[in-house]
Amino acid sequence: MNFPTEHFSAVLNHLNDGVFIANTKGVALWVNDMSTKQLGIDRTGIIGKTVEELESIGLFTPSVTKIVLKNRETTTKVQTSKGRQYLATGLLIKLENTEYVLVHVKDITETVKASFKLEKTEALMKQYWQQLQEMKFTQKKENDGKLIIGKSKQHTEMFELMNRVASFDATVLLNGETGVGKSMIAEELHKKSTRSDKPFVQINCSAIPETLMESELFGYMKGAFTGSNSKGKQGLVKKADGGTLFLDEIGELPLQLQPKLLHLLQNKSYIPIGGTEVQKADIRIVTATNQNLLEMVKQKRFREDLYYRLNVITITIPSLKDRKDDILPLLYHYLGIFKTKYTRDVSFSKEAVELLQDYDWPGNIRELENTVERLVITSLKNVITLEDLPDKILNESTTAIDQHQQENNLLQLKNQSLPQYMESIEKKLIENALNEHGTTRKAAKSLGITQSSISRRIKKYHLNNLD
């Protein structure tokens, strides 16, 4: 049975949310009944007008339609209209050869008013966005859960630089704190390069003993030394032939081995241990470090000529404390991964998410990933609350709250005279003492003053006399 076309308008007019449809020039084509109520104007004042006109006469701000047409992507904004607040989501819809902008408008005024926080809009937007991110990141899996996630300015600039240099065969040095994801960036450089169909070989220079590092890198011929494999061994340079060799923690490369790496960089050739013939190496070298190599050069712990050969292009990967906007999507990305891995249906409470977002994550993405995995496994209920968070995160947040309180106290002092501020402290101390001890005698004793003194202050500050 077909659904009559004329019934669509009637159905949309029954919605408790507004529906606003415009063309690609921003001209309003159709609105439902709820939309006219939200805007406080009938259809004749809306249809045929551009969103710029409607915005200029104060019907709403900002215009989501205008933003969607500019960016050509789905957009959600908190909109203000007639003193009320709305969550407006706009998207492009293509029907045959014609495009329209559809905006769904939900009244969130009462919900926002109920919010305890002063930043009321942000709190509500965070709640909606968290739900959206959870659905998005649980569904999207690639590279065994390895995604380079981030929309912050710092992350975007780093990612754009990576994309620009990926197709060139130049040597790249990745700089960044421990745990920021240097190996993931190195692998992404390889995937976006012309060598993507060839091997990506990784070695951590700090994980291999100095005595074995040379043979691991360059291999050795049969009978090269006592105890060696009778058939010889192929080194990682050979295994990476045609592709990319990634040397992580390059600052830990033994000083005596650095000239051989320099020779490899300059001449694309090397000699295996025990060998006599030069072997060619068609490889691109990417290195990474969390150390200050230039300072190591000054301290004679790293060769200057090698440093400049490695430092052709430097990409600095920002730490999480410098890109706070990326913490939320990362939290939900790993939550989705570990929910699936451990078949647990868990979610974050609003309070837990806020604390995790405020945390500085000194261990960066690695610490965040490990923390989320632990929370998914150890949480007793289906909602991860403050009680489930590690002491380290809770303690740091307490310190931050104390600091914030001190800042508030200083701000309060700025707005008061010193006598006024001292009186407010005295009043608070007396209130606390009375609440704790129950009588003026005990309260006075705890404060080191006489009972008559505390009685005078109770009268002065209009406090309840408990005796």
What whole-number distance in Å separates Cα of residue 331 and Cα of residue 349? Answer: 12
Is 1 among the domain residues? Answer: no
Q: Are residues 167 and 208 in the same domain?
A: yes
Q: Are residues 238 and 335 in the same domain?
A: no
Contact 265, 310 (CB under 8 A): yes
* pLDDT (tens place) for every residue of the chain, 467 residues total: 566 666 778 888 888 889 999 999 999 999 999 989 888 889 999 999 999 998 888 888 889 999 999 999 988 888 888 878 888 899 998 888 889 999 999 888 776 665 444 444 454 555 554 544 444 444 444 344 455 788 888 888 998 999 999 989 899 999 999 999 999 999 999 999 999 999 999 999 998 888 889 889 998 887 555 555 557 788 899 999 999 999 999 999 999 999 999 999 999 999 988 888 899 999 999 999 999 999 999 999 999 999 999 999 999 999 999 998 889 989 999 999 999 999 999 999 988 888 998 899 999 999 999 999 999 999 989 999 988 998 888 877 554 444 445 555 555 555 566 667 677 777 878 888 888 888 888 888 888 888 888 888 888 888 865 55
Q: Are residues 220 and 284 in the same domain?
A: yes
Q: How many independent structural domains does the chain possess?
A: 4
Q: Which domain holds residue 355?
A: 122-151+323-407
CATH number of the domain that residue 96 is part of: 3.30.450.20
CATH number of the domain that residue 139 is part of: 1.10.8.60
Q: Are residues 127 and 171 in the same domain?
A: no
Token code pair at residue 236: 């990682």
- Count the Cβ atoms, other than its own, within 10 Å of residue 383: 13
> Peptide bond preceding 62: is omega within 30 degrees of 0, i.e. cis?
yes
Sheet holding 172-175, edge to edge: 200-204, 244-248, 284-289, 172-175, 313-316
Q: Are residues 76 and 219 in the same domain?
A: no
Q: Are residues 273 and 130 in the same domain?
A: no
